[in-house]
Structure 1
Amino acid sequence: MTGLADLRQSDRRLTRRMAHWKSPLARQLLPAVESAAEHTKLWWAAAAVMSAAGGYRERKAALTGLAAMGLAELVSNAVCKQLYERRRPPKELIPHEDVHDRPDSSSFPSGHTAAAVGFTAAVTAVCPGWGAVCAVPMAAVAVERVHSGAHYPSDVAAGAAIGLAGAWLIRQAPRLWLRRLV
């Protein structure tokens, strides 16, 4: 039980530290990132840009990214949040006004992070250059989720793990289906 108590204490300490980050750039950038990532708009837009600007590989990367994002969202929001109820970080840990705009759903895991990591990891496997471009807003989404008080760092880490697993499964699915057919 000590390990879980230590994790909770570390979560609270890291949340407080990240929420107290007073960088003017962060104060301007992170709310914009959160707004763009809401309802996965950011990743749909990235897929549209890749598809319009590129060829077959870019379209494949966009489609793979969207599939991984969808799977990660399904697992994080429709499965994990229903199985594990965790309260959001308490308002006293968050010193700024962003704390009022938090969802009522379970904090665990971060669905925004799961979608961002799933999309980016799947895109990276097909088009590493586009993956590198997507990695910047992906990291910003993860930081923003803790900075705004919507999630603890462990929620974000769990969301990232779900996103990576979703990307891996989407990339492996055609091979797995072909093996079953042969």
Structure 2
Amino acid sequence: MTVKAILRETDRRIAYRVAAWDPPCARCAMPAVGRAARHGKVWCFSAALMAGLGGRRGRTAAWAGLSAVGVAQVAAGVAVKPLTDRPRPPPRWVPRDIGERPGSSSFPSGHTAAAVAFAAAVGRTWPTMGAACALPAAMVALERVHSGSHYPSDVAAGAVIGLAAARLVHGLPPLRTPPSTGGRGAARTACCLSGLNPGRRAMSA
């Protein structure tokens, strides 16, 4: 068996075991995590809190985080997914109702790319908040495999894209939030620019 075949089989085995993991705590927590990550709601909410309560540093962190999410979504959903045609994990692996799944390629995970991009970009501006955002980002990554939507390699690729997006955003000229918009206004503006308006349909991930 080649190394590539071994890695593919390991990827499938891990995906199967995580998707089949079904204790009561996971049945309650994982769907909630998935709903929070859908349409970027959790990142918009976090950005609004930081922008509203964190002063200038909070506004800068919120703007950077949501800008990185926008870059990550474009990279994962527009640039990479169309180039791959990887099927999602088999629904029979998930011993519970998972509802309708995205019809796009499984590779990479756009939700994970957005989660990691937000946490990493915020962390570069406000390390304490970046560390706080790392936990929900990790939960989103786990949920994508647990829900049967992705393989671990999809999630890993999404994380790499998210880190690259955060680095790219911080490599650009300093981001400035319009002083007249205030904290929540700045976060709302960044949400719109990054395509994370919860009222709009987000790209499938």
Contact 2:89 2:150 in 1 (8 A): yes
Provide the aligned length of Structure 1 versus Structure 2.
174
- Identical-residue share of aligned pairs (%): 54
In structure 2, what is the Cα distance between the partners aligned to 1:112 and 1:2? 31
> Offset of 1:2 from its aligned partner?
2.1
In structure 1, what is the Cα distance between the partners aligned to 2:40 and 2:132? 16
Secondary structure in 2 matching 1:73 = helix
Q: Which runs of 5+ in 1 are unaligned?
A: 176-182
> Offset of 1:116 from its aligned partner?
0.3
RMSD: 1.3
Q: Which runs of 4+ in 1 moved over 3 A?
A: none
Q: Which runs of 5+ in 2 are unaligned?
A: 175-205
Q: More helix by proportion, 1 or 2?
A: 1
In structure 1, what is the Cα distance between the partners aligned to 2:124 and 2:23? 33
Q: How does 1:1-182 map to 2 (within 5 A)?
A: 2-98=2-98, 100-174=99-173
Structure 2 counterpart of 1:148, one-letter code: S
> Offset of 1:92 from its aligned partner?
2.4
TM-score after normalising by structure 2: 0.82
Secondary structure in 2 matching 1:149 = coil
Structure 2 counterpart of 1:130, one-letter code: M
Instruction: Please say which of residues 12-21 and 140-149 is displaced more in the overlay.
Output: 12-21
In structure 2, what is the Cα distance between the partners aligned to 1:124 and 1:24? 33
Q: 1:75-120 CA distances to partner (integer Å, 9 max, x unpaired)?
A: 000010011111000122222222x331111000000000000000
> Offset of 1:3 from its aligned partner?
2.6
Contact 2:64 2:122 in 1 (8 A): yes
> Offset of 1:14 from its aligned partner?
0.3
TM-score after normalising by structure 1: 0.92
Contact 2:22 2:95 in 1 (8 A): no
Corresponding residue for 2:190? none
> Offset of 1:143 from its aligned partner?
0.2
Structure 1 counterpart of 2:97, one-letter code: E
